[in-house]
Structure 1
Amino acid sequence: MPKKVAWVLGGAKGLGVMVAKGLAQDGYQLVINYRKSRQAAQKLQHELQEIGSDALILQGDVSQLSAVKQMVQEVMHTWGRIDVLVCTAGPFHFKPIPLVELQDHQWGEMIDGNLSSVFYITREVIPIMRQQGGGRIITFGFAGAELAPAWSGYSSYAAAKVGLVSLTRTLAEEEASFGITVNMIYPGDIRDPYKEALISEARGQADPRSRVGRPGTGEDIARVVRFLAHPDSDWITGAIIPVTGGFSLHWNYVK
Structure 2
Amino acid sequence: MHGRTALITGSAKGLGKRTALQLAGLGCDVVLNYKDSKEEAQRTVSEIERLGVRATAIQADITTIDGVSRLAEEASAWNGDIDILINNAGPFVRERRLFADSDEAEVIRLVNGNLTGVMLLDHKLLPGMRKRRWGRIVHFGFGHAGEARAWPHRAAYAAAKTGLVSFTKTLAVEEAPFGITVNMIGPGDIKGSFKEASIVETAGKIDEESPIGRPGTGEDVARVISFLCHPNSDFLTGNIINVTGGFDPIRPNIHTNG
**TM-score > 0.5 by shorter chain:** yes
How far has the Cα of 1:171 moved from its partner?
Answer: 0.4
1:220 Cα shift?
A: 0.5
- 1:43-62 correspondence to structure 2 within 5 Å: 43-62=43-62
**2:206 match:** 206
Alpha-carbon deviation of 1:135? 0.2
Runs of 4+ in 1 over 2 A off after TM superposition: none
In the alignment, the residues of structure 2 paired with residue 40 and residue 114 of structure 1 have an alpha-carbon distance, to the nearest angstrom, of 22
Cα distance in 1 for partners of 2:192, 2:109 equals 23
**How much does 1:63 deviate?**
1.7
Task: Assess if the C-alpha contact under 8 Å between 2:14 and 2:193 holds in 1.
Answer: no
* Residue of structure 1 equivalent to 2:112: 112
Displacement after TM superposition at 1:204 (Å): 1.3
- The equivalences for 1:98-247 within 5 A come to 98-247=98-247
Q: Percent identity of the aligned residues?
A: 45
Question: RMSD of the alignment, in Å?
Answer: 1.0
In structure 2, the residue corresponding to 1:201 is in which secondary structure? helix
Alpha-carbon offset, residue 123 of structure 1: 0.6
Distance 2:70 2:102 in 1: 31
Which structure 1 residue ranges, 5 or more long, are not aligned? none
Partner of 2:19: 19
CA distance in 2, matches of 1:67, 1:41: 17
Match of 1:251 in 2: 252
Paired letter, 1:86: I
User: Structure 1: how far apart are the matches of 2:232 and 2:61?
Assistant: 32
| Higher deviation after alignment, 188-197 or 58-67 | 58-67
Q: CA deviation at 1:208?
A: 1.9
C-alpha contact 2:172 2:237 (8 A) present in aligned 1: yes
* Whole-angstrom CA distance in 2 between matches of 1:154 and 1:72: 29
Task: In structure 1, give the amino acid aligned to 2:152.
Answer: S
Q: Partner residue of 1:35?
A: 35
TM-score w.r.t. the length of structure 2 is 0.95
Deviation at 1:209, TM superposition (A): 2.2
CA distance in 2, matches of 1:51, 1:209: 35
Gaps of 5+ in 2: 254-258
CA shift, 1:76, in A, is 2.1
